[in-house]
Amino acid sequence: MKTLIHSFVPLIFLICVSFSCTTGKDPGITVKEIPGENRVDIAIDGELFTSYTWPETLEKPVLYPLKPASGKIVTRGFPLDPRPGERVDHPHHVGHWFNYGDVNGLDFWNNSYAIAEEKKPHYGTIHHEKILKTTVDKEKGVLEVEASWRNYRDEVLLKENTTFIFRGDSDTRSIERHTILTALEDSVVFRDNKEGMIAIRMDRAFEFPSDKPEAFTDSEGNITEVKVVNNEGRNGRYLSSEGITGEEVWGTRAKWMSLSAEKEGEKISVAIIDHPGNPGYPTYWHARTYGLFSANPLGQAVFSNGEQHMNFTLAPGQSAGFKYMIWIKSGDFASKEELEEVFNRFSH
């Protein structure tokens, strides 16, 4: 198992949301900061793809929403923009994010507006600091940002530098995320924890049918407890590189995982792909049937029933890097062969 830690040369954390092919068409990518609104909009061919946003109501910056080439949203709206029929659980699940459940004893994963003030000292917050650069060319748009991982006393544990690279074609949309995490004055320990690390909270269509009472929101954000389950529109399906399907994928290791669904008559697949150079490769999957789609390379004990452990540590001044790809395809479901090809191209 490689850990990719270096004291002098920061390593890169790469998330690639979709792996797009070249079609010869100029995608017309724009990366535009919206003054006074705490967000940067990324559009392709004049249509919003996603936004990098850090609203005051969140405890971390996120990419929200995520849209494939068809324009149908694949991320849940709640809590930023509730849509009728959505679950209202886990208010810390917003769009696409990157954080962890135990960093020097602080919970960055579960922090949200729902945490009582007296409990806030047990949670960490990721602050967007500044936009470093935006550039565009015929093939891609680039956004570079700086963030800091802080405790309740506003002391910085980790410095984060992230570069997002946005691409798209007629069938795919892609986001590469290059993130460098650097420990500052003190050592930083990512203690073995199931809550992590690279995640997307998916739209209702990507959920599995349920047989339990749930809480849902209406178009005004009002919450209603529903005792009779309505599974209309839910048709999510997981597939792992190891051939495991359905809810059985949770807690397993795999080099990639796809989550597919048919939404409003269109077939869409989203896949997160691990890289052989990453810590904990192949990653464990914290992939739930209610719409949480997450890869966790650092939490191992809970997934292995205590047979494996990992406490990932950065000494002062050290940086860590990871590489991931999330592949989004619209128009048809991704096949195992297609995902293997994407993995092979990415891993080499």
- Please give the distance of CA 5 from its chain centroid, rounded to a whole number: 22
Cβ neighbour number for residue 46 with a 10 Å cutoff: 7
Alpha helices in 177-299 (DSSP H): none
- Predicted pLDDT at 225: 65
The class of domain 5-347 in CATH terms is: mainly beta
Residue 333 CB neighbours (<10 A): 15
For residue 153, the model assigns a pLDDT of 96
pLDDT of residue 217: 58
Q: Which H or E run contains 341?
A: helix 336-347
Give the pLDDT of residue 223: 63
SS3 assignment, position 215: strand
| Tens of pLDDT, residue by residue, the chain (348 residues) | 444 444 433 444 444 444 444 344 445 899 999 999 999 999 999 999 999 999 999 999 999 999 999 999 999 999 999 999 898 889 999 999 999 999 999 999 999 999 999 999 999 999 999 999 999 998 999 999 999 999 999 999 999 999 998 989 899 898 888 889 999 999 999 999 999 999 999 999 999 998 777 765 554 556 656 665 678 999 999 999 999 999 999 999 999 999 999 999 999 999 998 989 888 899 999 999 999 999 999 999 999 999 999 999 999 999 998 888 888 999 999 999 999 998 998 898
Domain boundaries along the sequence of the chain = 5-347
Task: Transcribe 102-140 into DSSP letters.
Answer: -BTTBBSSS-STTS-GGGGGGB-EEEEEEEEEEEE-SS-
pTM of the model: 0.89
Sign (positive/negative) of CA torsion 208, 286, 325, 14? positive
The Cα 16–Cα 198 span in angstroms is 11
From the list 94, 48, 40, 41, the residue with the least C-alpha distance to 68 is 48
pLDDT value, residue 230: 79
Bridge partners, residue 130, by sequence: 146
Distance CA 347, CA 294 (A): 19
Instruction: Please report the pLDDT score of residue 14 as a whole number.
Output: 46
Nearest to 285 by CA among 261, 249, 320, 316: 249
